A and B are shown apart, each in its own frame.
Chain A
Amino acid sequence: MAYDQKLIPLKPKALSPNGKGNEDNGASIMRRLPILLCIALSACNALPRDPADTSARIESTRYFTVGSVDPSARDAPETARLLRQIEQRTGARPLWTEGSGETLLGQLDAGTLDLAIGRFAKTSPWQAEVAFGPALSVSGKEGERIELKTAMRNGENRWIMTVERASRAISTEARAQ
Chain B
Amino acid sequence: MSETSLPDELSEPLEKAIRLEYWNIFWTLTVIVVMGLVLGQSQTMKTAWIEDTLGLVPPVMFLIAAHLERSASRSHRFPFAFERVNGLGFFVAAVALTAVGALLLYNALVALASAEHATVGSIVILGQDIWLGWLMVAAQLYSVIPPFFIGRKELPLAEELNDKLLHTDALMNKANWLTGAAGLAGVIGLGLGWWWADALAAAIISVDVINDGFKALRSSTAELVDGFPRALSSAALSDDAEQVRQKLLAEFPGAAIRLRETGRLIRAEVHDTHAPQSCRHPRHYWPGHKERAWRLAQVSFIPPVKARDEGA
Binding site for B on A (CB under 8 A): 44, 47-51, 53, 131, 153-157, 160-161, 164-165, 168, 175
Task: Please determine whether B121 and A160 come into contact, CB atoms closer than 8 angstroms.
Answer: yes
Known: A160-B119, A165-B129. A155 touches B124 (CB 8 A): no
B227 at the A interface (CB under 8 A): no
| B195 contacts chain A at the CB level, 8 A cutoff | yes
Cα-based distance from A175 to B125 in the complex (angstroms): 11
Q: Could you tell me if A157 and B129 are in contact, using CB atoms closer than 8 angstroms?
A: no
Distance between A113 CB and nearest chain B CB, rounded to angstroms: 15
Known A165-B129, A175-B124: A49·B192 in contact at CB below 8 Å: yes
> How far is the CB of A9 from the nearest CB of chain B, in Å?
20
Q: A48-B190, A48-B191, A50-B193 in contact; A161/B131 too (CB < 8 A)?
A: yes
A-B contact pairs, 25 of them (CB 8 A): A44-B131, A47-B131, A47-B133, A47-B134, A47-B191, A48-B133, A48-B190, A48-B191, A49-B191, A49-B193, A51-B195, A154-B116, A154-B117, A154-B119, A155-B116, A155-B119, A157-B119, A157-B190, A157-B191, A160-B119, A161-B122, A161-B129, A161-B131, A164-B129, A168-B124
Q: How far is the CA of A33 from the CA of B120 in the complex (A)?
A: 30
Assembly CA distance A153 to B133 (angstroms) = 18
Q: In the complex, what residue of chain B is closest to A130 when comparing beta carbons?
A: B119
- Give chain A residues whose Cβ lies under 8 Å from the Cβ of B133: 47-48, 157
Chain B residues packing against A (C-beta within 8 Å):
116-122, 124, 129, 131, 133-134, 188, 190-195
The answer to whether B193 touches A51 (Cβ under 8 A) is yes
Query: In the assembled complex, how far is the CB of residue A161 from the closest CB belonging to chain B, in whole angstroms?
Result: 5
Counted as pairs of residues, one from A and one from B, with CB atoms less than 8 Å apart, the total is 60
Q: Which among B122, B129, B131, B195 is the interface contact of A155 at CB below 8 angstroms?
A: B195
Assess whether A165 is in contact with B122, with CB atoms less than 8 Å apart: yes
Residues of B within 8 A of A165 (CB): 122, 129
Q: Taking A50-B193, A157-B133, A165-B129 as given, write out 9 further A-B residue pairs in contact, using a Cβ cutoff of 8 Å, ordered by the A residue number.
A: A48-B192, A48-B193, A49-B193, A131-B121, A155-B117, A157-B121, A161-B129, A165-B122, A168-B129
Looking at the assembled complex, report how far the CB atom of B193 sits from the nearest CB atom of chain A, in whole angstroms.
Answer: 4
Chain A residue with minimal CB distance to B118? A155
Residues of A within 8 A of B131 (CB): 44, 47-48, 157, 161
A153 to B195, CA, bound (A): 13
* Distance of A157 Cα from B122 Cα, bound (Å): 9
- Which residue in A154, A164, A175 is a CB contact (below 8 Å) of B122? A164
Closest 7 CB pairs of A and B: A155-B117, A49-B193, A47-B191, A131-B119, A51-B195, A48-B191, A161-B122
User: Within the assembled complex, what's the spacing in Å between the Cα atoms of A174 and B193?
Assistant: 26
A145 to B101, CA, bound (A): 39
Contacts of A156 in B (CB 8 A): 117
Q: Report which residue of A50, A51, A165, A175 has the largest number of chain B beta carbons within 10 angstroms of its beta carbon.
A: A51
